[in-house]
A and B are shown apart, each in its own frame.
Chain A
Amino acid sequence: MQDTVGQDVQTVVFRLGEQEYGIDIFKVQEIIKIPKITGLPNTADYVKGIINLRGCIIPVIDLKSRFTKSESVYCEDSRVIVVEMNAKRTGLIVDEVMEVVRINGNMVEQDGFTQNGTGADYLMGIAKMGDRLLILLDINALLN
């Protein structure tokens, strides 16, 4: 994103609880309703299991429990965002997918968030959209 300052980047906006997040649209394959999830034994709490997406088996992660360590409850707005993560497809369970927005580079604050040691190295920056604050996530860093 550093390379795209001054250019519009399309971002998929989703919600976890009250907070809105954004991920680069090019990382997103598609958005689906939460399908039947097959649980996997011996995995981290936020790894909900695997799903069968048109014949492809892909793992599903609950982003909210990934971030807050809390168990999330799915409602009718809950969705799975299928992303391409480290050249592998993964499903991210979110509370709601809001919209696709174009974010200009100069709307984004990057300083101070991505430094090592903050424990938030998957943060790419904060986009300001009026009075909304959008946390931009680095999907590749998310599962490392």
Chain B
Amino acid sequence: MINSQMAEAIKVIAPIWVNSIPGGGLLAITDTKEIIWKAASDVFDVPSIHAGTTVRVGGGPYQAMQQKRQTEEKVARAVYGMRLVMTSVPIIDDGEVTGSFIVVMPRLHPIARAFNDFAPMMANMFHEGAFLYMSDLEKIAYRQGSNRFDIPQWQAGDKISEDTVARRVIRSKQMIAEELDAGKYGVPVRIVTFPCFDEDDPTAVVATFGLILPRETAANLRDMSNNLSRGLEEVSSVIQELAASASEVTINEQQLNGNIMDIFKLSEEINGVLGFIKQIADETKMLGLNAAIEAARAGDVGRGFGVVAEEIRKLSDESKSTVGKIKGLTDNIKQKVDETMKNSEVTLRSSEEQAAASQEMSASIEEITSMSEQLEKIAKAM
């Protein structure tokens, strides 16, 4: 309880006093009806409280005057546009209430109160830095950038616009975590915002507290793992092509082997035919010789026939020697075919080895691919 004289003294020291209150404050003096005097701090003011403002019926000062005792009222946001704590003391002169003395301070959420203490430390605790902010229901109340990361376009007092995370948190009353690409703040960020509830009413959101973490490392990691898996996909498709062509080579080589075998068989068949031709040549030769013998026996009459017989014999000899030559050629063919078959065996083996090797390679790539998938998951979870 104070009297008018003390109130007058307060008016003198008030301008110094208000600016010494942490977070600022406002002092006012009323008569029984309305505010007659006010002193506001530099950092905090309630513009709707001014000289001439009517004392609210049922409000803190009203109660203080009615009950002649000090009251403390938690003023809801609806009244003056912000949450306030109003401490009222009645001014009593000679037992009669003549007015009240009011101390008005912003009513801060515990996090808001501590913000300036913990935020500067916390912001620098993260590897890539962090940006912390707190908003009330309308605007950004506190902000804290870090050495490594800051969002200069967010300043205390800026209105929070309709589409922001803070606004959505206020609406949903739930924590929201989001990933944003580099488009918004220059680097990819993760933004996590929690609603802050009234200390007395756990259903009423009074503020939001948010943390914005730059995620450049994670984004780089994700990009790299994306590139890696894309590269691996390409490699794997090339290897698949390689394996396919290797198995094609194997199939061709097998076909070639079959064809070569056919050639081998054909030259054997030719040899068979040659045997038959030689047999005929032998028979013909004998026929020729016997004809010559018969012709000789016939004497002069057979002379002409003898010549014919000799020609037949010569022809048969030629046939026989031709058979020999062809036999030489087919033997040559068989030898070459043999060499070719050996070579193609080697080729076949190499192409089979190649196919096997590309399968192994494919398996390794698969392993690496699964690792890069894991890496991608880790990068996403970071």
Contact = CB atoms under 8 A, between A and B. Distances in A.
Contacts of B314: 99
A10 interface: yes
A33 B283 CA distance: 9
Contact of A77 (B282, B289, B309): B282
Contact of B313 (A28, A30, A100): A100
B293 A100 contact: yes
Interface string A26-39: 10111111000000
B216 interface: no
Contacts of B286: 31-33, 79, 97
Interface in A8-31: 10, 12, 25-26, 28-31
Interface string B123-154: 00000000000000000000000000000000
A111 interface: no
B292 A25 contact: yes
Interface string A73-114: 000110100000000000000000101100000000000000
B290 A31 contact: yes
Contacts, number: 40
Chain B, interface SS category: helix
A51 B313 CA distance: 26
Contacts of A97: 285-286, 289
Nearest to B279: A76
B265 interface: no
Contacts of A77: 282
Contact of B290 (A26, A30, A76, A99): A30
Contact of A12 (B282, B289, B317): B289
A31 B293 contact: yes
B158 to A, nearest CB: 117
B239 interface: no
B307 to A, nearest CB: 10
Interface in B255-290: 282, 285-286, 289-290
Contact of B292 (A10, A29, A76, A79): A10
Contact of B293 (A30, A33, A79): A30
B92 interface: no
A31 B297 contact: no
B293 A12 contact: yes
Contacts of A26: 296-297
A33 B296 CA distance: 21
B310 interface: yes
A101 to B, nearest CB: 9
B210 interface: no
Contacts of B285: 97
B320 to A, nearest CB: 9
A12 B293 CA distance: 8
A30 B286 CA distance: 9
B309 A100 contact: yes
A29 B289 CA distance: 11
B306 interface: yes
B237 to A, nearest CB: 65
Interface string B297-333: 1000000001001100110010000000000000000
Nearest to B310: A100
Contacts of B282: 76-77
A10 B286 CA distance: 16
Given A10-B306, A77-B282, A100 B297 contact: no
Nearest to B291: A100
A29 B293 CA distance: 7
A25 B293 contact: yes
B278 to A, nearest CB: 8
Contacts of A12: 289, 293
Interface in B12-68: none
A53 B290 CA distance: 15
Contacts of A99: 289, 310, 313-314, 317
Contact of A31 (B289, B296, B306, B310): B289
Nearest to A76: B282
Given A10-B296, A25-B293, 12 more contacts: A10-B306, A12-B293, A28-B293, A29-B293, A31-B289, A31-B293, A32-B286, A77-B282, A99-B289, A100-B293, A100-B306, A100-B313
10 contacts: A10-B296, A25-B293, A29-B293, A31-B286, A31-B293, A79-B286, A97-B289, A99-B289, A100-B289, A100-B310
